[in-house]
């Protein structure tokens, strides 16, 4: 099985549009259109899993740089995700946000002056 990356897609493209584009060329296992988790809108790229490696190569040759809704799309073999380095997490709160930990003694007494 080969996973294809399909990029530079119009934001209006649907999973069905991608399926229709690839079906004449390959047997598709799955189509994963990447969308914004908040808006549900396409991010302009997708992954297509193809059963046969030769068919996948044929699809790349036929569809790479083809025009879809006035955009030249990119079709290539997907690269594996790179491992992200395990490092400290700095999420959760704003810089200098007093709610995010630190010395709580100042807040229980109601004053924000440092003690010396």
Contact in structure between 73 and 65 (CB atoms under 8 Å): yes
Decide if 46 contacts 31 (C-beta within 8 A). yes
Are residues 30 and 49 in contact, defined by beta-carbon separation less than 8 angstroms? yes
Question: What pLDDT, in 10s, does the model give residues 43-79?
Answer: 999 999 999 999 999 999 999 999 999 999 999 999 9
1 has a pLDDT exceeding 80: yes
- For residues 105 and 59, the model is more confident at 59
Whole-angstrom Cα distance, residue 62 to residue 98?
57
Instruction: List the domains of the chain with CATH numbers.
Output: 2-77 (3.30.70.330)
Yes or no: say if 2 and 49 are a contact pair by the CB < 8 Å rule.
yes
> Residue 32 — φ and ψ, nearest 5°?
-125, 95
């Amino acid at each position: 099985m080969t996973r294809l990356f399909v990029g530079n897609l119009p934001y209006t493209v649907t999973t069905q549009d991608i399926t229709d584009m690839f079906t004449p060329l390959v047997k598709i296992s799955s189509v994963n259109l990447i969308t914004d988790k908040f808006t549900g809108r396409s991010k302009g790229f997708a992954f297509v899993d193809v059963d046969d490696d030769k068919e996948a190569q044929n699809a790349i040759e036929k569809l790479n740089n083809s025009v879809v809704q006035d955009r030249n799309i990119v079709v290539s073999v997907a690269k594996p995700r790179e491992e992200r380095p395990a490092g400290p997490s700095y999420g959760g709160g704003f810089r200098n946000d007093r709610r995010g930990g630190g010395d709580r003694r100042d807040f229980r007494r109601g004053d924000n002056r440092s003690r010396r």
